[in-house]
Structure 1
């Protein structure tokens, strides 16, 4: 799949090659049926610290696969499972409303189970060290990152890139990050944008307050960084929202977060 909703004023996307890597499509066995995914890791050595890369609302497209390779170049086993596959195929969609409708049909509990299966798959490969595991996610995947950090206390760390923090509570999406933040056992770094029209800064401030007031060890060690002038999706180098300076700084903060919490 190529990058979605391409626009004439979008920047030229970053391309990370696979030299020195084992990279490509994989099939993850899962309780609800096989799950496609994309993984990359160094061609020699290992086992490597594990990073689960959780997709944007647009699916596991080329930008997400490139992020997987970026981690592999840094010495990680990185895996991006296709978490929409049971409800639909994002590559066949064209409008943001269609993407949102698809995402709205994907139950959180199914997603958490599929990520559990992805961790097990990576561990069974012999190339991933699941005792040094982290999860990161962008936009839709940023919200899921918070939820998975609350779901799996065995993680070492998590990084949520501009994930939505609250919203309507439904049977499909019964909880949001604001509901689970105070009980986190895993430290989460939140990377947010001051000009994000979809994630109001008051909700970020509310989350910061919940984390500060919490006694749970992961909540107490979590942190939020806001880029005041950046818009939503400032890391998405295939979109006009891309902000290279903020993106580079956030990437380095993420790597530092991993090193600080033993995912290196």
Structure 2
């Protein structure tokens, strides 16, 4: 995995003064479709890094911007969450800078998707109409004005947990809004899963992990395997695969 400096692109769009990203390339020769991956509220850790590598193995040039680059998680968490809810803030410029960086790469096909988990899933829902070719929101918070957010949406694949009490009813609300907007979508709620079920390990400060387990937050391998299968099939349909450059 490589480190990418996105600062100049972000600053030019009114985003973070300093923006770092993690990039994973698929094996073999491209070009490949690109994906901007958006991390959970706890920020980038080894679990999130493995998610980037997983998507790269599936054939996608995958870039994960660190939305906490300009100050760290403690200073940026609250403002970033507020931005997600309001639809305004430098995080959106940072996400667009990441999309543009991928488009500028010679080994990108020119089709770019967005995929997010938790907080990142909320941002994915808020950016479905901003130029991405496909989106995947995984237990992301719903936009306050769903119909407005989804009015010009690209195709969307959604995965939520039935035991995620903070997002109870989210799947049904999203399905209804997407159908009203005429957006191609694939949505599924997993009864056995809670929040963060797509992770392959626990996240967050160790002191909080026992509480998170009690709240049903954490891995659910069976549901995760099915969700990844659906995401990869959906992205293959709407983003395509590697193109023989020769």
The reply to whether TM is greater than 0.5 is: yes
Deviation at 1:125?
3.0
Deviation at 1:191?
0.5
Deviation at 1:204?
2.8
Deviation at 1:45?
1.6
Question: Partner residue of 1:118?
Answer: 98
Mean Cα displacement is larger for which, 63-72 or 116-125?
116-125
- Other structure's SS at 2:225 match: helix
Question: Partner residue of 1:63?
Answer: 47
1:197 to 165, 173, 193: 165
Structure 2, unmatched stretches of 5+, are 203-212, 242-246
Q: How does the TM-score come out when normalised to structure 2? A: 0.80
CA change 1:127–1:112 in 2 (3 A) is same
CA-to-partner distance for each residue in 1:7-51, whole Å, 9 max, x for gaps? xxxxxxxxxxxxxxxx22110132233410100103542221101
RMSD of aligned residue pairs (Cα, Å): 2.2
2:4 to 15, 19, 26: 26
Deviation at 1:179?
4.0
Task: Measure the CA separation in 1 of the matches of 2:42 and 2:196.
Answer: 12
Q: How does the TM-score come out when normalised to structure 1? A: 0.75
CA-to-partner distance for each residue in 1:31-74, whole Å, 9 max, x for gaps? 23341010010354222110110010011222111111112222
Question: Partner residue of 1:160?
Answer: 137
Which has the larger share of helix? Answer: 2
Task: Measure the CA separation in 2 of the matches of 1:262 and 1:123.
Answer: 13
Asked whether the equivalents of residues 27 and 57 of structure 2 are also in contact (C-alpha less than 8 Å), the reply is: no
Task: Measure the CA separation in 2 of the matches of 1:124 and 1:59.
Answer: 26
Equivalence map 1:141-160=2 (5 Å): 141-152=120-131, 155-160=132-137
- Other structure's SS at 2:167 match: coil
- Other structure's SS at 2:124 match: helix
1:133 to 109, 112, 137: 112
- Other structure's SS at 1:49 match: strand
Task: Measure the CA separation in 2 of the matches of 1:178 and 1:226.
Answer: 21
Deviation at 1:262?
3.2
Structure 1, unmatched stretches of 5+, are 1-22, 167-174
CA change 1:222–1:43 in 2 (3 A) is closer
Question: Partner residue of 2:210?
Answer: none
Task: Measure the CA separation in 2 of the matches of 1:223 and 1:178.
Answer: 17
